[in-house]
Amino acid sequence: MKKLLFTLLLAALFLAGCDRQERAGLVFSVGGAPAELAAWQDLVDEFRQVSGIEVELLRQPAETGQQRQGLILALKAELPTPDVFLMDVGWIGLFAASGWLEPLGDFDRSPFFEEVVERVDVHEGELIALPVYMDGGLLYYRRDLLALAGRDAPPETWKELLEDAVSLLPAMRAENPNFYGFVWQGAQYEGLITSFLEFAGSEGGFVLRDGRILLDVPANRAALRLMRDLIRNRVSPPSVYTEMREEEVRLFFQRGDALFARNWPYAWRLHQQPDSPIARRIGIAAPPGPTAEERVSTLGGWHIGVSRFSQRKEEAMEFVRFVTSREAQRRMVLALGWNPGRRDLYDDPRVLEEMPNLAELKEVFEKARARPAIPYYPQVSEIAQRHLNAALAGRVTPEMALQQAEEEIAALMARYGM
């Protein structure tokens, strides 16, 4: 915690130092892995060449929580930098409600996923962000093993997934005692929420009703009981609720130790690397649901916005147009294997040649479900994470966990007058 606070303090001091100097151009704040930052630097350099506008790339940590806190520090202080920044989809409600985002005006929305833009990027009738990178929860499955069980398609319901796993586990464990049916994100962090929303399906999750957030509803009770029982009955490993995050799930599945895995699209390329034991043996599909009609994929991804406190809004808008253009997004897709924010690239022959799985992802993203776009979502999520994880650990019943989470969320809303 001390290290995190020190890092954030340094970031704030750096931003303040930038503001005291006369700047020649925009400041664009973005985080990520070294390869991502290198790709962004190339894109920034190209924008400078075509527009003549200088852009400073303000490199942020890869950890999303640190990125969010760094931006909040700058925006709360109403600093003029950064002018432009990327936001995780879960932050946009907070940033918009706080009045930190400049409306983008008359941007053409038609190339993007219409429902995503309407649910996430529009606030009080105004466009305040645009998607750069799309993400959504997926079911990864072993095509070769399902074929052995006589299955020619992945499961569409949780009941079917359980049946497939139970039918194959005895034979698989005879060869590999560490083999499991299904691995998913269950540790106490935001990934647990994304898994829970998919288990609960379209009738569950954070149910907004009459100004309240309801969690103790039938769909959620059934989902949390199933999640707990998957661990109790050894269909899922006991480490699900203690340590399973995205990379732990990926590595477990990639070793060949599971039939199914819930993960994000980024894992596809890594699973298909030449040294991967499961290369060319896997498929992807939308996550199962309580019924086939209730299937949902939790929406993820990164969106670009302009600070209301920027002193270079016109140049910032030009940069946003460039970043969300067809050519710029195609370049980032081919360089990084990203899923573009633009819907029109999912039919692009050059892109599909490199990433044929985008054809399947397009349908998933069209039906993806956003988390609540509410200003206090991070606090609501943290409360839900604690109680859901306690139920998975067996410390409380699923019913008690949902009741306690709902009561704590109601107290939070009352405390803030919401």
Q: What is the pLDDT of residue 20?
A: 40
pLDDT band at residue 18, thresholds of 50, 70 and 90?
Answer: very low
Are 119 and 229 part of one and the same domain?
A: no
Q: What is the pLDDT of residue 61?
A: 87
pLDDT band at residue 23, thresholds of 50, 70 and 90?
Answer: low
Out of 354, 369, 384, pick the residue that ends a domain. Answer: 369
Are 181 and 271 part of one and the same domain?
A: yes
Are 380 and 251 part of one and the same domain?
A: yes
Provide the token pair at 367: 């039906």
Are 206 and 252 part of one and the same domain?
A: yes
Are 304 and 293 part of one and the same domain?
A: no
Q: What is the pLDDT of residue 184?
A: 98
Q: Which range, of 10-14, 82-86, 193-197, 289-293, averages the lowest pLDDT?
A: 10-14
Q: What are 270-291's pLDDT values in tens digits?
A: 999 999 999 999 999 999 999 9
Helix (H, G, I), strand (E, B) or coil at 258: strand
- Answer whether 340's CB lies under 8 Å from 134's CB: yes
Across 11-25, 54-68, 388-402, the highest mean pLDDT is recorded for 388-402
Are 144 and 124 part of one and the same domain?
A: no
Q: How far apart are CA 188 and CA 172, in angstroms?
A: 29
Are 144 and 280 part of one and the same domain?
A: yes
Domains contained in the chain, number: 2
Are 314 and 340 part of one and the same domain?
A: yes
Are 35 and 112 part of one and the same domain?
A: yes
82 phi/psi in degrees, rounded to 5? -75, 150
Are 36 and 116 part of one and the same domain?
A: yes
Average pLDDT of the residues of the chain: 92
- CATH number of the domain at 343, please: 3.40.190.10
* H-state helical runs in 151-239: 158-175, 190-200, 218-232
Give, as one character, the DSSP assignment of residue 90.
G
Q: What are 222-264's pLDDT values in tens digits?
A: 999 999 999 999 999 999 999 999 999 999 999 999 999 999 9
Domain extent at residue 128? 2-135+300-369
Task: Give the list of residues 6+ apart from residue 69 with CB closer than 8 angstroms, or none.
Answer: 4, 8
Are 217 and 183 part of one and the same domain?
A: yes
Q: How far apart are CA 298 and CA 191, in angstroms?
A: 10
Are 24 and 50 part of one and the same domain?
A: yes
Mean pLDDT, residues 96-109:
94
Task: Give the list of residues 6+ apart from residue 66 with CB closer than 8 angstroms, or none.
Answer: 4, 7, 8, 31, 60
